[in-house]
Each structure stands twice: as structure tokens, then as C-alpha cells.
Structure 1
Amino acid sequence: MASIALGQMRRRPPAFAGLAVALLLAVATLTLFGSLVAADATAPPGEGRAADGPGLMLIAGAFGEIAVLVAFFVVVNTLGFALRQQYRELALLRTIAATPRQARRMVRGQVVATTLLVAAPGWAVGWAAARRFLAELQRRGLAAPEVRVPGTPVATVVAPVALAAVLAVGLAATAVAARRISRIAPAAALTASTTEHGRTGAVRLVAGAGVLVGGGLLLRLTATRTPEEADKAGQATLLGSLVLLVAVALLGPLAARVLAAALGAPVRALAPGAGWLADANLRGYARRLSSAVVPVALLAGLSGTMSIMTSTAEHAATAATTGATSATDVWLRQAELALLACFAAVSTVNTLVAVTADRRREFALLRLVGATRAQLMRMLTAEAVLTTVVGVLLGAAVAATATAAFSTALTGSPLPHVRPADCAWIVAGAAALTVPGILATGLRAVRGPAAEAAGGRD
């Protein structure tokens, strides 16, 4: 199974390249914040924090808990998509007597091999980022000048802990993602691999509903915080928004199909040919649409939550005549936003490129029945716009719900302070990542002889 696993990785580089980047980010994130914790723990007594700062351990914990959760969210989402891309091959293995255990072992081997491949560069990136971040904290008076990041990650306990944690998450995600293909009969697995089920599984719906309720309860507790606990309310708000985004990922096929159906009518009216086909593709392949939409929702949801939280805090401080929030507070929020947006952007680009590249045979079949390359590109443009709008709407719903709780804790009103320019930049950023990524990959996928592509792999 090891040779088959490696062969699959060579045959589908876009999917596994995305998984590799997600795992590298996870290793780097754990190394980054683990190095900061190690720096605080090894500092001489009394020198671990600046006189007027919150402490390096507190900053690393506040940043790290959200960043690590986002990194793992990206890993699980990317891994699930990489597995769906090789669903047909797994089904074929089942028909030639491969056991469910062997299929799961093959997928686990892919995850372990990819993780080990990115471990060293992930450690290097995380360690360098920790040194740079600590230097910025010291320059702003948030950490004592004597604190140093100890050694290299390989020479400390940070490296093995980061690697073990990422491997544990990857293997746990593998067990969940490979569950369906390993449980059904071999012949049924091959038939199922060529189609997409129209209904979302009951287990997934129940899990999504449970996570949604849990996120709502967390945000309700967040709203009971006092204005003096603004920092705790902010971290709880970010955690709550991430929990809601997990619910969006679980309920994604259902939510995406509903929104695509609602938005499809104007698209069909504006582009009767390409718009109709784009709408049919998105609604008919809800799981594929969900794979593309969830990263966009992650980007819009986290960016929107952070931006609105910052503007609400600044507005509340000004209204209370206590002066605007300090430049240091704003910088910390902007740094956290940049880190989270980086994860979401990487996840968005990786997933969209892989989703579109995997449709080469579909595009070839459309060309064989008379579609031109120009018509296919118009169809992809309509799909890209719909994908962006659906993702932004889901992310906006999460951001609105989360920041309402934060605003209630800070000001007593559920209406946060929103800067329209910030929202416009978030929408523009999501569109800039989504539309060009889909079109550039699609342009490459429609090249070459249609007959040859149609006879290739699915």
C-alpha cells in the first residue's frame, strides 16, 4: 500500500500540494507559539515580561489558541478534499479485494509522508517567525529585552511536540474522512465514486446542528462579559466565530445548495447559456461547491470578525471619553488578523485551484458536445462569482453573529460599529483570491485535445 499511496501523491500534485501547505502552516504555527512559550519559560526570574505589558506567555496563549485552531481547521478541510479527489481510485482498490483497513492505511500513509516532508521547513518558518514576532513585541515594550527564543526548534522539545500534534490531528481527520469509503461494499463504492449524493448525511447534519448550537451558547456567554473584560470577550468572540465556521463546514453542502439556488435566478437571467450551466453545476455538485465555499467563508468570517471587533473597541473607547485604544492594542489585533487571513487565503487558493484542475475531464466532455473554450470560461466566471458571493454571505453571517456578542459585552448594544471601507476591502480580497484563481486554473484545464482529456482520469 505504501507504493500505491506515493503513486497517488505523484498523480494528484494539486491536491497534495494544498495538503502539504496546510500541514506546513500547522507545523509552523505550533513551532511559532511553542517557541514563544519556551522563551518565556526559560527567561530569568522577573525578566519574562515587560513592566507595562500583559506578558509573553499571555500574548502567546491568546494568539496561539485561535491560530492553532484555524490551522487545524484548514488541515482537516484540505485533507477531506484531497481524499474526495481520489475517491474513485479508493473504490477501484476495494473492487480488487483491498480491505477497508488497507484503504485507511493507504490514506494514513499519505498523511504521514506529507507531514514528515514538510516538518523541517515548517520548523524553520515557525522558529524564524517566533524570533521576528518576539523582536516586534520587545520593540513595542510588550516583552522584556532580555528574553530570547531558545536554540533551534530541533534542539528543544518544541519540534517533536509540534510534529506529534500535527500528526495526531491529521490521523484523526483521516479516520473520519475515510470512514465512508471503507464501510460500503466494493461495487457500491465504485458506483458512488462516479456520482455525488444529493442529500447530506444524517450524522453530518446532527453534528453540524450540535456545533452550531455550541457556538451560539459560547457567544451568548461572551455577551455577558463586562467592558473591563474586553480582551477575554475578544478571544471568546474569535473562538465562537471559528466554532460557527466549523458548523458551516459541516452543513456546507446543504447551505451552499440553498444559497446557490436563491442566487442562481439572477445569474441565469443575466447569462442565459453560461449562467444556466454554472447554476446547474453548483447545485448539482453541492459537495464540490462546499469545498470551494468553506475557505472563502473562513476568510470573510475571520477577517470580518477581527475588523469589526477592532472598530467596535475603538468606537467604544472614544465614546466613553477614555481615549482611543492604544496603538499597541491595534497592532496586536492587526497582527492576529494578518496571521488568520494568511491561513484562510492559503486554504482558499489551494482548494479552488485543486477543485477547478480536477474538472479537466468534465470540461473536455462539454467541448466534445459543442461547447467552445470561450463558453466554458464564461461558465467558470459565473461559477466564480457565485462561489464568491455564497462564501462571503456565509462568512458575513458568522461575523455578524460573533461581533454582535462582542458589542453587547463592550457597549450593551448588539449593534457593532462597522466601517464600510473595511467590509469592502474584505469582499474585494475574497473576490481577488477566488475569481482569478478559478479562471486561471480553468484556462489551463481547457487546453489540449478534448478527446484525449475526456479519455483520461476523472
Structure 2
Amino acid sequence: MRRRARRNAGVFTGIFAALLFAAALVGACGVLVESAYRAHAPVERFGAAAAVVTGPRSVEDRMKRLGEEPERQSRPLTERSRVPASAAARLRAVPGVRGVVADVSFPVLASSGRTLTGHGWESAALRPYALSAGRPPRAPDEVVLSRPAGVAPGGVAWLQADGTPRPYRVTGVVSSGPGAAFFTTATAAALYGHPGQADALAVLGGADAGALRDAVPGLTVATGPARGDAEDPRVAAARPDILELGATFGGVAVMTALVVVGGLIVLSVRERAREFALLRAIGATPGQVRRRLLGETLLAGAPAALIGGVLSLGLGAAMHHAMLRKGVLPDGFAPVLGPLPVLAAFAVTLAAAVVTALLASLRVSRIRPVQALGESAVESAALPAWRVVTGVVFLVLGLSALGTSTATSGPAANAAIGGLVIALIVATALLGPLVARLGNRVLGGAARAISPVAGGLARHAGAAAALRAGSIVTPVALAVAFAGTQLFAQSTVVHATTAQAAAGDRADQVVVSAGPGLPRGAAEAARRVPGVTAATPVKRTTVVMAVKELGEKNLRSLNARGVGRDAEATMDPGVTSGRLADLRGTTVALSRDVASGLGVGSAAALWLGDGTRVTARVVAVYDRGLGFGDVLLPHDLVAAHSSTTLDDHVLVRGRADLRPVTAAYAGAAAIDHDAFGAAVSQEVRLQGFFNHVVVAAIGGFTVIGLVTTLALATAARRREFALLRLVGATRRQVLRMLRLEAAIVLGTGTLTGAAIAGVTLAAFATAITGLPLPSVSPVACAAVLLGVAGSGAAAILLPARALLPRRSSPSVS
């Protein structure tokens, strides 16, 4: 078998390379999935605590299913869920508990611009922090700072919590840990702003976790690595989304690997049809032919899948690092590099190769020897009936997804778009030879008009080898369709978000903060400035709500904003019914994408940022959900159920001088609406960074598979090139024929991929903006097309130049 492998070195090298990259890609997806599954925020401040008691960190509800049992769904919370401080007494009564610390946390901005985290002094024992100089705070105007704050004991630090900056006398310094500010218990409780409550109850001592849960029913008891989630909920909140993205990415990667590797194996079997026909002619049974092909595939595939699986750890870590650096993943979201992604990549890739090889060997091993010899010389023009029927089925599924995506909006449309791309690509793979014949008729005629001799040869070669051409068209179409859809769907979202935000921006200025946020008094201070007619504080949060998708409700985490008074004067979210002025108490305004049939006066059940369930009365429905978030709530309601009471920004109507306001609050600045719109656009672009990672990984693999397939197909035509030289064709004429043939085949694949991307993007744009006009960058479009076509042309012409003899030779064997 090894001797046969050496004789077919080109085939095995191509299959080896394709399977190696496929395994690396699938394994990288596995790294993201396993990292998300096992992710916990690092345990830092609660290091000395045996257990941490918090409120619920997720919400659950039972979603009804048509004809099925209700499905229990859950979504994580993005805000801290507070606990009653009185529960500490019940925890202290549990055997083994040495003490309980009611921990509160709130952001503090120093005059230097550094953001610190404020706590009561008793929380210093949880890390534990140790005084390196000075003493603990004892008076309301005293504070202990961490050494990075840069203020020595006896000095004065100007600190801002939920008001204007105030002077505090520094009584001590702790040397370890991140920036922290420790106040007296009473001062910390006042600055925290929620009397009788705490962010967490940290338990000191070796008490049994079950006993602790029994003591505080309804609360969450975290031990071990889960304590980090109690300290920083952002990692736990990001986990389901990363799991979903990684699983989706993995599904697309497996589909891509099947298309690329499958096409390569089918092509290799087709190019070796003469060899298999001779085996059948000398008496080899169908089983022997299949075993030979499967054995050769395993010989190339097993080491490739194993090496690719090992390399996937590095690729997955690199993708994770890039996403972490760009802020797609929260700080503390550590990668997990274990054996499971390697094993999964090895198993999936090798199984795909074996199944594909088995399917490819069925026909060549079953047909009669004489028929096999005939088909090795002249390619059959007919496709198997099962392939045509299956291709048509996937085409119908794609058209059905197209109809669904244009008739719906929001998450349901996005889900339909993914199904649309996959269905059309699979249909292209199955019907590839038919697509290649159609492209050959159209583009072949143009090639013949350009050069009658070389163009005629190119058109004839394409028509005589439609199966080979179909194997080439598919990866070209896949690369163009996938890259175009991912890149320009994101640019469409960015453009629509920016356009909606700009169209609905009625503010002349926006007060923003370089720190954790603006204190509650900033909006009122701006409102008192002469010339200001309206000032609206805006606080961002995330709410959980059941959203109807394709007839069924699913729990979704939605971007929401708490808006204060004067909202109608400073923002226009495109209200179609109701009034923003009625946002007060327990009311809500919904975008049309998530309203799900709810109208003004309806009751909408939702969970606020800390998990509090409310039934809010709908007072308005609006169109510009991308620019203003899917949910608008009263500002006071959001502030009461958020980790902090700080506002994200203040919208100001009136071109007054806001310097008195910005000077009063540390880190505050006033910018115009153009600068604010640019900041919003940049934020949306960063959120789409994952799409760029996906395009780089899967698009790169597809191009590698395309180059491998084309190089293999070209190398297998040595005998054809020699025959052309024998009948009198010059080397220049053959190369010209190949250039035109490459233009026909690559042009067919490019047009097919562009058509798939165009249909998909038009449907996506219709769901997002109401018009089938996606935002397409000409530069990015040209880069995709030139990258695919250029690499494909090089993979055809470079091997051909090496194979074509300078002089004709009588040998064609």
C-alpha cells in the first residue's frame, strides 16, 4: 500500500493537506466551545472565601412547544443580583462557618482618571489584602487605597462615586491586587446606594455547601472556580453566546470540510478511474477495490487528522487571543486547551474522509469491468438520479429559507439566513456538474469568440469533463459565497445601525465619561445650564424576554436602555404607535423586531438586568431597534436593578456651553452628535470582529482546499497535455487554452458564489432595513474575488507550466 501511495504522491499529498487543515479548523472550533463550556471568571477578590452566596445568576422559564412538552430555557444575567444582608445571620449559624462578609462593590473614579473598585473595609479580608502602610479607615472621610493609586498615607485623594468628586484622607495602603478603595462600612453602604443589601455574602470557613444552600433557599451558593462568576458575572453572561457562536462556527466548519475534502476525494477517485477499471478487468472484486481505496484514504487521513487536531490547539488559542484583545470576549475568559478538541477533530475529519471515500467508491467498484474501462476514457454525461434529486431538495429548502427570511425580522431572519447559505452551497455541490455545463455554454462561447482555437479547446475540455469542473466550481462558489455573506452582512448591520442612530439623534451634544459612567446628578446639572432645553440620561442594560421566532417563543437576551425625562426631545427611535413620554413606572417600549404581536396597552413579561421579573405595560412600539436597542425602559427602573446607578451618557438638546458640567465631574466630556455616532459605529464594528475571524479561518481553509483541488486536477492531466503536444499544439497554445479554461471554470464558480451571496444578502438586508439593499464595500468585494480567482488561476497554470514539455514527446503513458 505504501508503494501505491508513493506512485500517487500528488493525490495523497493533496488529500493529506486538505484533511490536515480541515482537522485544524474543526478543532479550533472545539477549543472555543470547550473554553465557553468551562469558562469561569478568575477567582481573585474572593480567594479567601470558601463559598460565595449571591442572588440567581440566570433566569429560567418554560417555553410552550406546539404538540410537545414545554421546554425549559435559561439565560444568564449581566448585572449582579443582590442579596439581603440579613441572610448573613442564617449563614453564620451553619456549622463550620467562621464568619460572613457582606460584600458591596461600586466603581470609584480617581482624579487621575484611574478607575478603582470601592468596598467596605471588612471586604479586605477576602482576597486577602494586607496593609503595607498605615491603618484601616475609621471616619466617613477616610479611605485605604491600593498602591497603584499612587497616594501615600496622610495624603488626600479626590474620589468620585455617585456624585461630584470629594476629598478623602488616605489612612493606609494595601500592596497587592488591582485598584481598590476601602471605606468604612457605613460610608461604603451609603456610596453603594442599596441599604440592607449586598452584592454577595462571602463565607469564611469550611462549611458544607449543601448546608449553606439549605440555610438560604432561593439564593445561589458558589464554591471552587464558580466563585469567580460571583465576582465578575460578565464571563458567565458571555458563555451561552460564545457556545452558540462556537457551535455555529463548528457546524459551518464541518460543512465546509465535507464540501472541500469530499470534492477532493471524489476528484481523486475520478482521476484514478482507469486504474480501478484495470483492477476490475483483471478480476478484483468490488469489495477489494473499496478496501483498497478506504485503506489509502486512512493511510493519508489518519496522520493528517491527528496532526491537524494537535495544531488546532494553537489555532484555537490564537483565535481566542484575537477575540479577547478586541473586546469580543470579556477579561478573564481564559482558553481551555485540553484533549477533547483534538479527539473531536480527529474523529470528525477522519469519519468525513472515510464516508466520502466509501460513497465515491460505490460506482467505480460496482460497474462491469468493460464499462469501467469505457468510462475511464470518456466521462459519463449523466449524473446519478439520487444526486440530482438531493440537489433539487436542498435547492427547494434554500428557496424556502429565502421566503422565511424576507417575511420575518430580527433573530428569526438571521437564523433563516444561515440555513439559506448552507442549503444553496450543498445544492451547488450536488449539482456542480450541471452548473459547470451551464457556465461552459455561456462563458465558453465568450472564450471561443476571443480565441477560436484555444477557446474552442477550452470549451471542449470543459464539456468533456463536467464532473471535474463541478468539483472545482463548488469550492470557488463556497469561498465567494461564504466570505461575501459574512463580510457584507456585518457591514449591512453596521450601516443600518449607524443610519438609524443618526436619523433618530435629536441631541446637539452628548455628555460622556472616560470612566465607569456619569453620576446621576450629571443630567440634572446639564438641564440647569442656560440654553439647554432638554437633557436625557441614558443607561444601558440587558433584559431577558421571550421573543417569538418562526411561530415559537424563545428566551433571548436583548439590548435595552433606560431613558430619563425629555426622551422625546432628544431621541427619535421611529415610534409607530404610542408615546415615549409615557415611559414611567413599570412600562416599556419595544422595537417591532421583538414586539411579537404586542401592541400599546399589552402586558410584556421580562426580566431586568438583576433577574427581577416584571410585567410591564407597553406604551410604544418603534422601528429603529438597531440604533436604539430593542427595549426602552424608564431610567429609574433600570438604575434600581443594575450593578451601579451610573449613567452611560446624557443626551443634551441645545448648543450651550457644557464646560461647567464636565468640569464638575471627573472624566466627563461633551462631544457633538457626529463624534458620538462615530463611537457607536466603531462599537458595532468591534462586535462583528468574530465574523472576521470566521471569514479568515474558514475562507482561508476553503482557498487552500481550492488550490489543492485545482493543482491535483491539473496534475492528473499530464497525459492529455502530452496528447495535445503530439497532435501539433504548441506549448503556448496549450497554456492559452488553460488560461481560458480557468476563466470559464473559475468564472462559473465565482458567478455562482456571487449569486448565492447576492440572494442571501438581499434577504438579510430586507429583514434588517426593509429594503433589499445590502451595504457592500467595493474594495472588500474586489479583494474576495481577486483572492479566490487569483489563487485558483495560479493553482492551474503553475503546475501546467511544470508539466508541459518544451518539445513534443511520443510517450503518452
- TM-score normalised to structure 2 length: 0.52
- State the one-letter code of the partner of 1:67: A
Query: 2:38 & 2:500 partners in 1: Cα distance?
Result: 40
- State the one-letter code of the partner of 2:427: A
2:31 is aligned with 1:35: yes
Q: Which residue of 2 aligns with 1:140?
A: 326
How far has the Cα of 1:235 moved from its partner? Answer: 5.6
Residue 238 of structure 1 contacts residue 302 of structure 1 at CA under 8 Å; is this kept in 2? no
How far has the Cα of 1:123 moved from its partner? Answer: 2.0
Q: Which residue of 1 aligns with 2:273?
A: 87
- SS class of match (1:318): helix
Residue 259 of structure 1 contacts residue 390 of structure 1 at CA under 8 Å; is this kept in 2? yes
Query: 1:144 & 1:354 partners in 2: Cα distance?
Result: 44
Q: Which residue of 2 aligns with 1:382?
A: 740
Q: Between 129-138 and 249-258, report the one with greater CA deviation.
A: 129-138
Residue 313 of structure 2 contacts residue 342 of structure 2 at CA under 8 Å; is this kept in 1? no
Query: 1:267 & 1:151 partners in 2: Cα distance?
Result: 52
Query: 1:334 & 1:451 partners in 2: Cα distance?
Result: 50
Query: 1:369 & 1:53 partners in 2: Cα distance?
Result: 66
How far has the Cα of 1:405 moved from its partner? Answer: 2.0
How far has the Cα of 1:359 moved from its partner? Answer: 0.8
Q: Which residue of 2 aligns with 1:11?
A: 7
Cα distance change on mapping 1:267 and 1:398 into 2, 3 Å? same
Aligned residue among 335, 338, 355 for 2:713:
355
Residue 309 of structure 2 contacts residue 343 of structure 2 at CA under 8 Å; is this kept in 1? no
Query: 1:239 & 1:13 partners in 2: Cα distance?
Result: 38
Query: 1:283 & 1:432 partners in 2: Cα distance?
Result: 23
Aligned residue among 285, 310, 314 for 2:490:
310
2:372 is aligned with 1:189: yes
Aligned residue among 414, 417, 424 for 1:237:
417
Q: Which residue of 2 aligns with 1:409?
A: 767
Aligned residue among 234, 253, 257 for 1:71:
257
Q: Which residue of 2 aligns with 1:221?
A: 404
Q: Which residue of 1 aligns with 2:652?
A: none
After superposition, give the CA deviation of every residue in 1:189-213 in whole Å (9 maximum; x if it has no partner): 1221111112223222111111111
Q: Which residue of 1 aligns with 2:297?
A: 111
Query: 1:281 & 1:384 partners in 2: Cα distance?
Result: 11
Map 1:45-444 onto structure 2 (within 5 A): 45=226, 46=229, 50=235, 53=238, 55-153=241-339, 157-227=340-410, 229=411, 233-234=413-414, 236-321=416-501, 322=627, 323-324=680-681, 326-444=684-802
Cα distance change on mapping 1:257 and 1:402 into 2, 3 Å? same
Cα distance change on mapping 1:424 and 1:366 into 2, 3 Å? same
Query: 2:750 & 2:26 partners in 1: Cα distance?
Result: 28
Query: 1:218 & 1:13 partners in 2: Cα distance?
Result: 43
How far has the Cα of 1:421 moved from its partner? Answer: 2.7
After superposition, give the CA deviation of every residue in 1:54-73 in whole Å (9 maximum; x if it has no partner): 64323322322222221222
How far has the Cα of 1:152 moved from its partner? Answer: 4.3
- SS class of match (2:290): helix
- State the one-letter code of the partner of 1:393: L
Residue 437 of structure 2 contacts residue 463 of structure 2 at CA under 8 Å; is this kept in 1? yes
Query: 1:381 & 1:26 partners in 2: Cα distance?
Result: 29
Query: 2:326 & 2:445 partners in 1: Cα distance?
Result: 53
**Identical columns (%):** 35
After superposition, give the CA deviation of every residue in 1:133-186 in whole Å (9 maximum; x if it has no partner): 222233233434444434543xxx333232222222222212221111122112
- SS class of match (1:414): coil
Cα distance change on mapping 1:376 and 1:176 into 2, 3 Å? same
How far has the Cα of 1:369 moved from its partner? Answer: 1.0
Q: Between 352-361 and 105-114, report the one with greater CA deviation.
A: 105-114
Query: 2:234 & 2:27 partners in 1: Cα distance?
Result: 20
Higher helix share: 1
How far has the Cα of 1:18 moved from its partner? Answer: 1.9
Query: 1:51 & 1:147 partners in 2: Cα distance?
Result: 9
Cα distance change on mapping 1:15 and 1:240 into 2, 3 Å? farther
How far has the Cα of 1:398 moved from its partner? Answer: 1.0
RMSD: 2.2
Higher strand share: 2
Higher RCO (CA-CA < 8 Å; seq separation 6+): 1
- TM-score normalised to structure 1 length: 0.91
Residue 306 of structure 2 contacts residue 346 of structure 2 at CA under 8 Å; is this kept in 1? no
Q: Which residue of 1 aligns with 2:130?
A: none
Query: 2:319 & 2:696 partners in 1: Cα distance?
Result: 13
Unpaired stretches in structure 2, ≥5 consecutive residues: 40-224, 502-626, 628-679
Query: 1:151 & 1:379 partners in 2: Cα distance?
Result: 50
Q: Between 428-437 and 52-61, report the one with greater CA deviation.
A: 52-61
After superposition, give the CA deviation of every residue in 1:364-404 in whole Å (9 maximum; x if it has no partner): 11111111111111111111111221111111111112212
How far has the Cα of 1:361 moved from its partner? Answer: 0.8
Cα distance change on mapping 1:364 and 1:62 into 2, 3 Å? same
Residue 309 of structure 1 contacts residue 406 of structure 1 at CA under 8 Å; is this kept in 2? yes
- State the one-letter code of the partner of 1:262: V
Residue 306 of structure 1 contacts residue 333 of structure 1 at CA under 8 Å; is this kept in 2? yes
Residue 53 of structure 1 contacts residue 141 of structure 1 at CA under 8 Å; is this kept in 2? no
Residue 454 of structure 2 contacts residue 736 of structure 2 at CA under 8 Å; is this kept in 1? yes
Query: 2:337 & 2:444 partners in 1: Cα distance?
Result: 56
- SS class of match (2:298): helix
Q: Number of aligned residue pairs: give it.
A: 445
Query: 1:311 & 1:42 partners in 2: Cα distance?
Result: 32
Query: Where has structure 1 moved over 4 Å in runs of 4 or more?
Result: 51-55, 232-236
Residue 238 of structure 1 contacts residue 305 of structure 1 at CA under 8 Å; is this kept in 2? no
After superposition, give the CA deviation of every residue in 1:335-380 in whole Å (9 maximum; x if it has no partner): 1111121122011101111111111111111111111111111111
How far has the Cα of 1:452 moved from its partner? Answer: 5.4
Cα distance change on mapping 1:50 and 1:233 into 2, 3 Å? farther
After superposition, give the CA deviation of every residue in 1:406-441 in whole Å (9 maximum; x if it has no partner): 122212223323333332222211221122221111
Q: Between 165-174 and 390-399, report the one with greater CA deviation.
A: 165-174
Residue 731 of structure 2 contacts residue 806 of structure 2 at CA under 8 Å; is this kept in 1? no
Higher-Rg member (1/2): 2
Query: 1:453 & 1:251 partners in 2: Cα distance?
Result: 36
Query: 1:380 & 1:134 partners in 2: Cα distance?
Result: 42
Q: Which residue of 1 aligns with 2:634?
A: none
Query: 2:357 & 2:458 partners in 1: Cα distance?
Result: 31
